[in-house]
Structure 1
Amino acid sequence: MPALDMPLAKLKEYRGSSPKPDDFDAYWAEALRELDATDPKAKATPSAFQAPNAECFDLTFTGVRGARIYAKYLRPKGVSGPHPAVLFFHGYSGHSGDWWDKLAYVNLGFSVFALDCRGQGGKSEDVGGVKGNTLRGHFIRGLDSGPNDLLMRHIFLDTAQLARVAMAMPEVDAARVGVHGGSQGGALALVCAALEPRVRRCSSVFPFLSDYRRVWEMDLAKDAYEELRTYFRMFDPLHEREDDIFRTLGYIDVQYLAERIEAEVLMGISLMDNICPPSTQFAAYNRISSPKRHVIYPDFGHEGLPGFNDETYLFLSKL
Structure 2
Amino acid sequence: MPSADLPLPDCRAFRPELPVPVDFDSFWARTLGDVPPGGRDKPGVTLVDTGLTQVRTYDVAFAGHGGQTVRGWLRMPTGATEPLGCVIEFLGYGRGRGPAHQDLLWACAGYAHLVMDTRGQGWSAASGATADPDPGAAGAVPGFATRGIESPDTYYYRRVFVDAVRCVEMMRGHPEIDPARVVVTGISQGGGIALAVAGLVPGLAGVMPDVPFLCNIPRGARVGGLPPYTEIASYLRLHHDRTDMVFRTLSYFDAALHAARATAPALFSIAMMDEICPPSTCFTAYNHYAGPKDLRVYEFNGHEGGGERHRAEQLAWVRSLFAGLSAGRTATS
TM-score by length of 2: 0.88
Once the 2 structures are TM-superposed, how far is the Cα of residue 139 of structure 1 from its aligned partner?
2.4
> Which of 306, 309, 312 is the matching residue for 1:310?
312
State how 1:8-87 maps to structure 2 within 5 Å: 8-16=8-16, 19-35=19-35, 38-87=39-88
Once the 2 structures are TM-superposed, how far is the Cα of residue 154 of structure 1 from its aligned partner?
1.0
The CA deviation string for residues 288-314 of structure 1, in whole angstroms up to 9 with x for no partner, is 121101111111111141511110111
Once the 2 structures are TM-superposed, how far is the Cα of residue 222 of structure 1 from its aligned partner?
3.4
> Which of 164, 176, 181 is the matching residue for 1:171?
176
Q: Which has the higher contact order (CA 8 A, sep 6+)?
A: 1
> Which of 130, 155, 158 is the matching residue for 1:150?
155
Residue equivalent to 2:325: none
Query: Cα RMSD over matched residues?
Result: 2.0
Partners of 2:100 and 2:203 lie apart in 1 by: 26
Once the 2 structures are TM-superposed, how far is the Cα of residue 202 of structure 1 from its aligned partner?
1.1
Runs of 4+ in 1 over 6 A off after TM superposition: none
Once the 2 structures are TM-superposed, how far is the Cα of residue 21 of structure 1 from its aligned partner?
1.7
- Conserved? CA contact 1:18–1:213, under 8 Å: no
State how 1:190-269 maps to structure 2 within 5 Å: 190-218=195-223, 220=224, 222-234=226-238, 236=239, 239-269=240-270
- Point out the more displaced range, 181-190 or 3-12: 3-12
SS in 1 for 2:132: coil
- Conserved? CA contact 2:74–2:114, under 8 Å: yes
Partners of 1:157 and 1:151 lie apart in 2 by: 10
Partners of 2:194 and 2:135 lie apart in 1 by: 26
Structure 2: gaps of 5 or more residues: 123-127, 323-333
TM-score by length of 1: 0.91
- Conserved? CA contact 1:16–1:280, under 8 Å: no
SS in 2 for 1:147: coil
Residue equivalent to 1:277: 278
Partners of 1:15 and 1:97 lie apart in 2 by: 37
SS in 2 for 1:94: coil
- Point out the more displaced range, 277-286 or 31-40: 31-40
| Percent of aligned pairs with the same amino acid | 33
Residue equivalent to 2:165: 160
The alignment covers a number of residue pairs equal to: 313
SS in 1 for 2:104: helix
Once the 2 structures are TM-superposed, how far is the Cα of residue 16 of structure 1 from its aligned partner?
3.7
Once the 2 structures are TM-superposed, how far is the Cα of residue 230 of structure 1 from its aligned partner?
2.6
- Conserved? CA contact 1:40–1:63, under 8 Å: no
Partners of 2:259 and 2:218 lie apart in 1 by: 17
Q: 1:189 to 1:36 in 2, by over 3 A?
A: farther
Partners of 1:249 and 1:242 lie apart in 2 by: 11
- Conserved? CA contact 1:89–1:96, under 8 Å: no
- Conserved? CA contact 1:4–1:273, under 8 Å: no
- Point out the more displaced range, 262-271 or 188-197: 188-197
Once the 2 structures are TM-superposed, how far is the Cα of residue 22 of structure 1 from its aligned partner?
2.0
Once the 2 structures are TM-superposed, how far is the Cα of residue 35 of structure 1 from its aligned partner?
4.5
Q: 1:50 to 1:74 in 2, by over 3 A?
A: farther
The CA deviation string for residues 221-246 of structure 1, in whole angstroms up to 9 with x for no partner, is 63222221231233x1xx22211211
Q: 1:129 to 1:100 in 2, by over 3 A?
A: closer
Once the 2 structures are TM-superposed, how far is the Cα of residue 186 of structure 1 from its aligned partner?
1.1
